[in-house]
Amino acid sequence: MSKKIEQILLQDQFSKDDIIRLLQSKDDEEKALFVKSSEIKLENIGKNVHFRGLVEFSNICKKDCLYCGIRAGNPKVDRYDIADDQILKAAKFAHEHNYGSMVLQGGERSDSAFVDRITNLLKEIKKLSNNELGITISIGEQSEETYKKWFDAGAHRYLLRVESSNPKLYSKIHPDNDEHSHQTRLKCLKSLQDIGYQTGTGVMIGLPFQTYEDLANDILFMKEFDIDMVGMGPFIEHDQTPLYEHKDGLMNLNDRFRLTLRMIAVLRIIMKDINIASATALQAIDPLGREKALKIGANIIMPNITPTQERANYLLYQNKPCIDEGADDCTNCMEARINMADGEIGYGQWGDSKHFKNRQNK
Ligand code: 5AD
Ligand code: FES
């Protein structure tokens, strides 16, 4: 007979089978899991929620990931690249509204003009905020030299989702060529960590071909890699992408949503002191999705501060929320939502991953 959930929740080490069991829990068992993960969050992180003002600065991308709406091979996307002064304006907004940190996210490019432009932007953001604004970047796979350049220019956190820790699954959701190699993804994560970034990764949940064992392995991968931050969300099919042909074999959206919450809860129990973001994709399924994730384990939220006219063109998946709102709308809305979820916003703080600090002191 398989172990009782209550019994597993009392352990402080978890086998792969235990994790699978937790990920499959439902009803009262799922409730018990969420009670435990909220307790662990409160004990280790407290009620604080930290903001990362998100600027999706460009949807021009050289990659062709089979799940992503802005893949290079989608001719239906209106491509944009926000001018530097607009990006700096958004950074100023984040600084003036005491966000503590911002995230610069964009499609992947690595030509030297692009690399220099980002370097320059990072320096400018540091300058305009008197070094006060923390900067996370999320611009895909780059050379170690580029990562180092951006680190020296002022970025101190980097998000690069591994998408799946299983190389076989990775190869099913990416084109089969050198530009989309799982090994390169891992090498990049390692470089980021070696350079000294607070390193973030994550996976999509509910992908075609994905099993519970894959997801349990994803959690074990994050632990093994000693990752500082995680952002993971449900996979949401996009009808202009190749993976859409597998839509009939997917879990229903609500099940993907619940499974994402259980992934966050289990991760919080296993990695008590990391930063876990409440992914925007949760809100594409449930209007209160991001608040629910905060309650059961997440502690980071990324209000969108991208200039409104470009938001509708950064559709990695369909039904993305907040595409008509402006930065002020999202800020007020997030504040109300976090208060509702009994959280407290850590205004003006960087909100660094405690795990990163603990790792440094080891
Ligand atoms: N559904 C959910 N998440 C997606 N991403 C890209 N496409 C989708 C999709 N269809 C996620 C990937 C990527 C991040 C920026 O967005 O995990 O790393
Ligand atoms: Fe954007 Fe609520 S967070 S409108």
CB of 338 closer than 6 A to ligand 2? Answer: no
Q: For helices 253-270 and 289-296, what crossing angle results, to 10°? A: 30
pLDDT score of 233: 97
pLDDT for res 350: 86
Three-state SS at 288? coil
Whether ligand 1 lies within 6 angstroms of the CB of 317 is answered as yes
Nearest to 57 by CA among 73, 79, 72: 79
pLDDT band at 332 (very low <50, low <70, confident <90, very high): confident
Residue 333 CA: nearest ligand 2 atom is 2
Give the confidence band of 342 by pLDDT, cuts at 50, 70, 90: confident
**pLDDT at site 339:** 86
Alpha helices (H) along the chain: 5-9, 16-23, 27-44, 84-96, 112-128, 144-153, 167-172, 182-195, 212-224, 253-270, 280-285, 289-296, 308-311, 327-340, 354-360
Sign of CA dihedral 38, 274, 6, 3: positive
Residue predicted with more confidence, 336 or 211: 211
Beta bridge partners of 45: none
Confidence of residue 294 (pLDDT cuts 50, 70, 90): very high
Q: How far apart are CA 232 and CA 207, in angstroms?
A: 12
**Total Cβ atoms within 10 A of residue 143:** 12
Give the DSSP per-residue string, 185-230. HHHHHHHHHHHT-EEEE-BEES-TT--HHHHHHHHHHHHHTT-SEE
Question: Which residues are CB-neighbours of 148 under 8 A, at least 6 positions away?
Answer: 195
- Residue 161: per-residue pLDDT: 98
Pocket test for ligand 2, best of 333, 339, 340 (most atoms within 8 A of CB): 333
Cβ(335) to ligand 2 under 6 A? no
Q: For the residues 65-77, what does the mean pLDDT come to? A: 97
| pLDDT exceeds cutoff 90 at 15 | yes
- Counting ligands in written order, the one closest to the CA of 283 is 2
Neighbouring CB atoms inside 10 A of 225's CB total: 16
The structural domains of the chain, ordered by start, are: 40-360 (3.20.20.70)
Average of per-residue pLDDT across 68-75: 97
Instruction: Answer for the pair 225, 201: CB distance below 8 angstroms, yes or no.
Output: yes
291 or 2: which carries more pLDDT confidence? 291
pLDDT at 1: 52
pTM of structure: 0.95
